[in-house]
């Protein structure tokens, strides 16, 4: 049984799982948070899609004779995948690409064999070498892809050939940028190492804005890869994000401003075990970013601490700070000699808003009401008072990175710190992004 909103999802998934005629009964949507009286009406009523009594349909699904064809094994037929598409005019092909969902809705560069061949010159890897597999979310099937297939999408995104090893590194992680969940995920990719300057990525003013070709097209390419090589992004079938996420157009693709790091603060890839001389991409997953443009008499590290304490979103147990270089310098000069030390300070000195803590921990609330310490003492200060339990200590399994392969080098807190920007003001960003993993760019040169 499933709610009617997911008809397309469940029928296509049943096909891909090898049961094309799975028997399905639908309920009105949604059923979550609905009172018993209403649920009783639903059950006594009809399947909203077939208009037949729901209980009778369930019974029929369990007893109706299975056809000879549905009782057989074997393989289901899939459309063949031609390497080249049928010839057509550029205008028609552009429309065809849009209609097929091959684009992000914006015009693309048509991937002729000549342009793809130029892209392929930027890597020593063979065109038919496997790069990886990708799926919209764990229940979905994975699609597979080669170096050449990634090059096709790189051309479409408007990437220059010298960006290609960076794009291959992102593709090699097998993480879709369009994760299929009814919550509206976003992804982020941070570039580190010499490749930043080699390909002219922007680490300065507007590093997070659409003002640099490399930042823009590499980030866009991840979206096209996710759609075309990872089978993601088809609304209702392989993409269920209720509102969607604007960050997915570019997937927050930016390089760290390594020259702007305070003394003692390592580049992000070095924190994750890579050599400083290596070029690396690092993948993050989350939902949202806050831009904090605010003057305060407090030192910036205290403002960040206060923001973290009260920050709330779906990914409430993890955070990534994107600090401007002059913010990082202020923080470092206030007694935080490394990124790790600052993250530890934040984890050790942030509590949880009372409304959030007590709603997430009903057993603790029960014990508090029964006078059990330390809960009773916390509750005595009021249900809205901050509870001295950090949300950011240690690694937690969370929705942001589940089933996306987690690399080693686990952080001791769930707070990550990256530095970028042009130093025009003491502003910074932060959001609910968690680290997923990194990949070498140099491997793909």
Partner 1 sequence: MKTKSVFIPVVILAACFVTSLGWAGDEGKVVVMNPQGIKPEIRKIPMATRPTTLDGKTVYIVDTKYPNTKPFVNELLAALKAKYPKTTWVLREKFAGYMDDDPNLWKEIKEKGAGAIVLPGH
Site for partner 1 in 154-193 (CB under 8 A): 156, 182
Q: Which is nearer to partner 1, 85 or 376 (CB)?
A: 85
For 387, the 3-state DSSP assignment is strand
The DSSP call for residue 246 is G
Between 226 and 265, how does the x/- string for binding to partner 1 read (CB under 8 A)? --xxxx----------------------------------
Quick one: which segment of 79-87, 199-207, 298-306, 329-337 binds partner 1 (CB under 8 A)?
79-87
362 lines the binding site for partner 1 (CB under 8 A): no
Residues 12-31 that bind partner 1 (CB under 8 A): 15-22, 25, 27, 29-31
Quick one: which segment of 42-50, 271-279, 320-328, 347-355 binds partner 1 (CB under 8 A)?
42-50
Q: How far apart are CA 286 and CA 305, in angstroms?
A: 20
Residues 130-159 that bind partner 1 (CB under 8 A): 134, 138-139, 141-145, 148-149, 152-153, 156
Residues 403-442 that bind partner 1 (CB under 8 A): 403
Q: What is the DSSP string of 113-178?
A: HHHHHHHHTT-SS-TTSEEEEE-SSTTSPPEEEEHHHHHHHHHHHT--GGGHHHHHHHHHTT--SS
Q: Which of 51, 73, 297, 382 binds partner 1 (CB under 8 A)?
A: 73
Task: Provide, rounded to whole angstroms, the least separation between the CB of residue 113 and partner 1.
Answer: 6
Task: Provide, rounded to whole angstroms, the least separation between the CB of residue 424 and partner 1.
Answer: 39
> How crowded is residue 46: how many other Cβ atoms within 10 Å of its Cβ?
16
Q: Which is nearer to partner 1, 22 or 292 (CB)?
A: 22
Q: How far apart are CA 383 and CA 235, in angstroms?
A: 41
Q: Which of 12, 55, 158, 395 binds partner 1 (CB under 8 A)?
A: 55
Q: What are the two backbone dihedrals, phi and then psi, of residue 40, each rounded to the nearest 5 degrees?
A: -65, -40
Task: Provide, rounded to whole angstroms, the least separation between the CB of residue 78 and partner 1.
Answer: 6
Q: Which of 51, 87, 263, 363 binds partner 1 (CB under 8 A)?
A: 87
Instruction: Give the dihedral of Cα atoms 228, 186, 253, 406; nearest 10 deg.
Output: -90
Nearest to 264 by CA among 311, 333, 192, 202: 333
49 lines the binding site for partner 1 (CB under 8 A): no
Q: How far apart are CA 176 and CA 208, in angstroms?
A: 20
Q: Which is nearer to partner 1, 87 or 297 (CB)?
A: 87
Residues 334-353 that bind partner 1 (CB under 8 A): none
Task: Give CA separation, 133 vs 238, 249, 264, 286, 318, in Å.
Answer: 15, 21, 38, 21, 27
Q: Which of 49, 50, 70, 291 binds partner 1 (CB under 8 A)?
A: 70
Asked if 433 contacts 400 with a C-beta cutoff of 8 angstroms, the reply is: yes
Q: Which is nearer to partner 1, 142 or 341 (CB)?
A: 142
> How crowded is residue 377: how many other Cβ atoms within 10 Å of its Cβ?
12
Nearest to 58 by CA among 27, 80, 18, 29: 27
Checking phi first, is residue 305 left (phi over 0); if not, alpha (psi -120 to 50) or beta? Answer: alpha
Q: Which is nearer to partner 1, 63 or 246 (CB)?
A: 63
Task: Provide, rounded to whole angstroms, the least separation between the CB of residue 117 and partner 1.
Answer: 10
Q: Which is nearer to partner 1, 74 or 382 (CB)?
A: 74
């Amino acid at each position: 049984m499933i709610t009617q909103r997911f008809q397309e999802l469940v029928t296509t998934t049943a096909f891909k799982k090898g049961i094309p005629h799975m028997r399905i009964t639908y309920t009105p949507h949604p059923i979550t948070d609905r009172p018993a009286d209403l649920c009783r009406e639903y059950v006594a009523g009809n399947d909203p899609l077939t208009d037949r009594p729901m209980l009778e349909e369930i019974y029929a699904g369990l007893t109706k004779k299975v056809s000879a064809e549905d009782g057989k094994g074997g393989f289901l037929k899939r459309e063949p995948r031609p390497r080249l598409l049928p010839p057509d005019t550029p205008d028609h092909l552009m429309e065809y690409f849009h209609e097929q969902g091959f684009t992000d809705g914006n015009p693309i560069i048509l991937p002729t064999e000549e342009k793809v061949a130029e892209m392929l010159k930027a890597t020593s890897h063979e065109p038919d070498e496997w790069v990886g597999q990708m799926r919209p979310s764990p229940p979905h099937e994975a699609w597979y892809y080669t170096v050449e297939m990634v090059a096709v999408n790189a051309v479409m995104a408007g990437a220059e050939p010298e960006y290609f090893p960076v794009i291959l590194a992102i593709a090699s992680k097998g993480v879709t940028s369009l994760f299929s969940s009814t919550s509206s995920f976003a992804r982020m990719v941070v570039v580190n190492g010499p490749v930043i300057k080699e390909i002219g990525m922007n680490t300065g003013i507007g590093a997070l804005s659409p003002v640099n070709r490399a930042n823009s097209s590499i980030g866009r390419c991840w979206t096209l890869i996710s759609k075309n090589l990872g089978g993601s992004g088809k609304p209702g079938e392989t993409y269920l994000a209720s509102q969607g996420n604007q960050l997915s157009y570019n997937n927050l693709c930016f390089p760290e401003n390594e020259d702007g790091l305070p003394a003692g603060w390592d580049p992000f890839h070095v924190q994750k075990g890579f050599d400083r001389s290596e070029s690396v991409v690092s993948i993050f997953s989350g939902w949202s970013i806050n831009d904090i443009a605010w003057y305060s008499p407090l030192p910036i590290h205290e403002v960040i601490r206060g923001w973290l304490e009260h920050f709330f979103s779906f990914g409430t147990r993890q955070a990534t700070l994107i600090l401007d270089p002059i913010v990082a310098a202020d923080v470092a000069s206030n007694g935080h000699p490394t990124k790790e030390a600052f993250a530890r300070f934040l984890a050790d000195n942030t509590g949880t808003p009372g409304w959030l803590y007590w709603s997430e921990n009903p057993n603790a609330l029960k014990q508090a009401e029964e006078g059990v310490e330390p809960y009773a003492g916390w509750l005595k200060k009021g249900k809205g008072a901050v509870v001295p339990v950090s949300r950011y200590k240690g690694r937690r399994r969370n929705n942001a990175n589940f089933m996306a392969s987690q690399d080693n080098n686990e952080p001791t807190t769930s707070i990550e710190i990256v530095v970028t920007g042009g130093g025009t003001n003491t502003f910074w960003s932060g959001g609910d992004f968690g680290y997923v993993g990194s990949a070498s760019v140099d491997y793909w040169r």
